[in-house]
Amino acid sequence: MIEAVIFDVDGTLVDTVDQHADAWHRAFSHFGHDIDFTAIRLQIGKGGDQLMPVFLSKAEVEERGKEIEAYRSDLFKREYLPRVRGFPKVRELFQRITSEGKRTALASSAKGEELETYKKAADIADLVHEETSSDDAERSKPHPDIFEAALARLKLSPKRGLVVGDSPYDAEAAGKAGLRTIGVLCGGFAETDLREAGAAQIFRDPADLLANLEQSLICKAD
């Protein structure tokens, strides 16, 4: 039986994928790189340590990666973070999961202070039992570090946990940690990409998952 549900945050609980992509696009441009917005968007879900090497040489990442990441982070906090909004029915979904006797956890590539803003935007600050952020993981998704940290916080075996995420990187990272994944489409990734990465079920968004919770792995898993 599933005892805890581990949620990705960006694109899963809060509507931030386009904002993150735009911040990266502007940051790369500031440092002299004209990189297609759509190409960047397809990499959102990874942390900067995994995203930058897709577009920059190893030498530039080593030389200027921290500077680029710091510029992007400051830009996002200043111009985008105040406008973050949660997806509909997130609070109700967490309440329902809790009422089923299961715990909830957050596993995000966001910094700790960003995560606090996200919890407020989704109105779930009082409903989260455990959380991990980029501060708890040496490597970001698609590496399993963040989900392994969440399992450690929950003191739970992978068979007793389940991940909900919007990106193929969530499903890939979860699989490496021995966790099954429910995919949601609200982050903008294609259903085929989520399934190929290992997502066992797909729902439209948190509201759709809530409406069909009894048919989901959250309630049906052995």
Helix axes 58-75, 17-30, angle to 10 degrees: 120
pLDDT of residue 222: 57
Q: How buried is 67 (Cβ within 10 angstroms: 0-12 exposed, 13-18 middle, 19+ buried)?
A: exposed
Q: What are the tens digits of pLDDT across the range 21-76?
A: 999 999 999 999 999 999 999 999 999 999 999 999 999 999 999 999 999 999 99
Look at phi and psi of residue 221 and say left if phi exceeds 0, alpha if psi is from -120 to 50, else beta. Answer: beta
pTM of the predicted structure, to 2 decimals = 0.95
Q: What are the tens digits of pLDDT across the range 87-127?
A: 999 999 999 999 999 999 999 878 878 999 999 999 999 99
